Amino acid sequence: KICLLGSRGTFQLPPLCASTFVTASSVFVSTPPPATYTTTSMKPELVPQGVPDRRRFVPWVDPRSIPVYFVLVIITSLYCIYVLEHLLISEKPRSTSAWGWQGIGFHLLFLMVLYCFAQAAMVLPGSIPNTDEWRVDTPAQDEGGLGAASKPKTVETKKDRNSRRKCKWCDKFKPDRCHHCRVCRTCVLRMDHHCPWIYNCVGFRNHKYFFLLLIYTVATLQWMTWTMWPTLSKNIESEVPFQSLFLTLFGTTLGGSMALLTTAFLGFHIYLMCYAMTTIEFCEKQGARGVKANPHYRGIYENICAVLGPNPLLWLLPFSMPSGDGLTW
């Protein structure tokens, strides 16, 4: 018999209702099964079973990829306005030579933007190897055996205890400048930040693609803004269809405003690169007390090589990636 205590007294449930109540209660108070973990072949890390791992393409049904679609819509809109309205309708009848060099320069920059965007979004930033020297559950790491003598040396330690940093999610020791991303569900080597506009983390292996994406985006937007300005002035002074005036005004305003924002963002990342800092390290330095020397600073030239590669002639091209493994600095 099951009795329920109400505001007006005690009520006794019928046998059928009592059995139903017991069954429903057992469902809600039952302990969920423990989460099991499995190792994926794509990335050497532990991820919860049933949760999709970070893939090399943008998942079409994930709502977190909406910013990527927004960026693609902006790129497509600006391209159509510049090519169809500015080059073909306004510039080509007025000056064939100007139409030629403006079109060639714009398309070269635009192709570099698309390539760097695809590489920054699809190249994995790098993760911790699944070897004994990095796993926390290796007995030799804690007992001082052979593995403890051969474990990699790290500079960064925990703030509260002078001990080796480790990730409780991946169950691995962290190399220097490595941080865990809860969106990508992995530890990222030399993690700069998680960028929602490319739905990927910016880390060791795709940092150059992201930096070049900023450079070519700024160059493309500046090119569009300054070459479309005479067309906008001509459309304002002369009688043109409202559609042409609106599109040129919209394209120039959008391109100019985005050029200002991306130029400031690029300047910030140039500062970080020259002083061997990531965005996370910059934020940690701002919140830290006292002045602490950067252990990763090796001079401006070496700091640039650590991001853009060892060959200065290929710094502005998406080739000649930086040397190293992203584990030691």
Cβ atoms 97, 264 nearer than 8 A: no
Averaged pLDDT, 175-196: 94
Helices (H), the chain: 15-29, 66-80, 92-94, 96-122, 139-143, 146-149, 207-237, 242-274, 279-287, 300-308
Residues 6+ apart with CB under 8 A from 110: 79, 220
SS3 at position 12: strand
Quickly tell me which residue has 């990222």 as its tokens. Answer: 188
Among 182, 124, 189, 204, which residue's Cα sits nearest to residue 154? 189
Share of the chain above pLDDT 70, in %: 70
Question: Residue 116 pLDDT > 90, yes or no?
Answer: yes
- Cα-to-chain-centroid distance, residue 274: 20
Mind telling me the catalytic residues? 195
Domain membership of residue 34 (yes or no) is no
Residues 6+ apart with CB under 8 A from 288: none
Work out how many domains the chain is built from and give that number: 1
Give the separation between CA 59 and CA 71, rounded to whole angstroms.
15
What pLDDT does 144 receive?
45
As a whole number, the mean pLDDT across the chain is 79
Question: Residue 133 pLDDT > 80, yes or no?
Answer: yes
Residues 6+ apart with CB under 8 A from 276: 294, 296, 297, 298, 303, 306
Question: Residue 187 pLDDT > 80, yes or no?
Answer: yes
Domain membership of residue 13 (yes or no) is no
Choice among 11-20, 49-58, 109-118, 255-264 with the minimum mean pLDDT: 49-58
Choice among 54-63, 88-97, 118-127, 241-250 with the minimum mean pLDDT: 54-63
Q: Which residue range forms the structural domain that includes residue 263?
A: 66-133+171-314
Give the separation between CA 309 and CA 197, rounded to whole angstroms.
24
Domain membership of residue 271 (yes or no) is yes
Residue 48 pLDDT class (50, 70, 90 cuts): very low
What pLDDT does 125 receive?
95
Domain membership of residue 267 (yes or no) is yes
Structure tokens belonging to residue 56: 């090399």
Give the separation between CA 65 and CA 183, rounded to whole angstroms.
12
Domain membership of residue 9 (yes or no) is no
Domain membership of residue 217 (yes or no) is yes
Residue range 221-237, pLDDT digits in tens = 999 999 999 889 888 88
What are the residues facing 239 on neighbouring strands?
none
Domain membership of residue 21 (yes or no) is no
Domain membership of residue 22 (yes or no) is no
Residue range 86-106, pLDDT digits in tens = 888 876 666 666 678 889 999
Structure tokens belonging to residue 212: 């070049």
Averaged pLDDT, 257-284: 95
What pLDDT does 136 receive?
86
Averaged pLDDT, 155-164: 67
Residues 6+ apart with CB under 8 A from 290: none
Give the separation between CA 120 and CA 194, rounded to whole angstroms.
11
